[in-house]
Structure 1
Amino acid sequence: MTALHDIEVFYDGDCPVCRWEVRFYSRMDQDHRVRWTDIETLRDEALPAQKTRADLLGRFHVRDIAAPKDDHGTDTEWHIGVEAFARIWQVLPGFRHVAFLFEVHGIRQLTLIAYRLFLKWQSWHRRRRSR
């Protein structure tokens, strides 16, 4: 990991939509501000403290790399779900100037609904892959 990374993104490498998004965002990340971590290839001992594989696969997780740790050594700056997408947008050129849109009430509600629908699809897709 280089000192340039601002955030670490935990993504489902078996999810075709997730892989597409990571490729898309990676091309924009010329300054290497994002560390991309495929949950499916992550060894159990490399999982973040207080997080299980099921936690990370259940909802989208981003953590601030330089964030302080609490008294138990646990990362204190996690962004989960829609907040995780907003955090990615905050560090990527081309998106950082519009990241505030995640805070606009009507837009935020729409993104929450869309994200919930995506989670249902992804859960169905993961069950189908595991058969």
Structure 2
Amino acid sequence: MANLEVLYNDDCPICSREIKHYAGLSGDDVTFVKITEQSAADWGLTEEQAAKQIHARSGGNVTVGVDAFVSVWQRLPYYRSLSLIVGWRPIRFITDIVYRNVLAPLLFAMHKRRQRRQVNSPR
């Protein structure tokens, strides 16, 4: 199995906590890449596009959203069973709708609010 790279938003406290947990379980099989202008460009994305959803790639194949999570979970102990459950087509369909239409937009909106607060905060 080729190494998996995961592009994630380290500025998001929820995302960074989850990725830190995954990194502790993954060993050398998964590389976690923080979103920067350069790392996003390496994936053919802007920082904003990259921050909207989690992205993963392995062997030139890029997955986004729930499919990216499944790619990660397949490589982690304790999560392989979850990858099989969520990977099952009816469940993947539902989780994809919830992630794309509720969770990802909510996390992205929180990210944008944090960015605005940082810009507007007195130093």
Relative to the length of structure 1, the TM-score reads 0.75
- CA drift at 1:98: 3.9
68, 76, 95: which is aligned to 1:92?
A: 76
Q: Distance in 2 between matches of 1:106 and 1:7?
A: 25
Matched, 1:104 2:88: yes
Deviation by residue 1:43-91 (Cα, 9 ceiling, x = unmatched): 5277315222222112210011xx1xxxxxxxx3001111000100111
Q: Distance in 2 between matches of 1:60 and 1:49?
A: 12
Tell me the matched-pair count: 115
97, 105, 114: which is aligned to 1:129?
A: 114
Where in structure 2 are there 5+ consecutive unaligned residues?
A: 117-123
Give the equivalent residue in structure 2 for 1:57: 51
Q: Distance in 1 between matches of 2:40 and 2:46?
A: 10
Identity of aligned residues (%): 29
Q: Distance in 2 between matches of 1:121 and 1:61?
A: 17
Q: Distance in 2 between matches of 1:32 and 1:127?
A: 32
Relative to the length of structure 2, the TM-score reads 0.79
Segments ≥4 residues shifted beyond 3 Å:
none
**Is the partner of 2:6 in helix, strand or coil?**
strand
RMSD: 2.3
Cα distance change on mapping 1:56 and 1:105 into 2, 3 Å: same
